[in-house]
Amino acid sequence: MKYFAGIVAVVAVLVCASAGYSFEYVVGYGDVINVNVWGEKDLSVKVTVRPDGKVTLPGVGDVEAAGQTPEQLQTKIAAKYAEIVRNPVVTVSVDTSQNNSVVVHGPGVKPGMVPLVGRTTLLQVLTRVAPEATADLDGATLSRGEDVLRTGFRDLYERGVASDDVELKPGDRVFIPFRSKWAVYVVGAVNTPKTIAHHDGMTLLEALLAAEGFTRFADRNRTEVVRAHDGRPEVIVVRAGDLVDKGDLSQNVLLQAGDYVIAKKGMF
Q: What is the CATH number of domain 2-96?
A: 3.30.1950.10
Average pLDDT of the chain to the nearest whole number: 83
Q: CA distances (Å), 226 to each of 180, 210, 238, 263, in order?
A: 15, 18, 11, 11
Q: What is the pLDDT of residues 234-258, one digit of tens each?
A: 999 999 999 999 999 999 999 998 8
For the domain with range 101-175, which CATH number is right: 3.10.560, 3.30.450, 3.40.50, 1.10.3470?
A: 3.10.560
Strand ordering across the sheet containing 45-48:
45-48, 32-37, 90-96
Query: Does the structural domain 180-263 have CATH classification 3.10.560.10?
Result: yes
Q: Reply yes or no on whether the pLDDT at 103 is more than 80.
A: yes
Q: Per-residue pLDDT tens for 5-16?
A: 333 333 333 333
CA distance 89 to 82: 9
263 contacts 220 by C-beta, under 8 angstroms:
yes
Per-domain residue ranges of the chain: 2-96, 101-175, 180-263
Whole-prediction pTM: 0.43
Q: Is the pLDDT of residue 261 over 50?
A: yes
Question: What is the rounded average pLDDT of the residues 198-210?
Answer: 92
Residue 268: pLDDT band by 50, 70, 90 thresholds? low
**Model confidence pLDDT, tens digit, residues 27-41:** 877 889 999 999 999
Could you check whether 2-96 and 180-263 share the same CATH topology? no
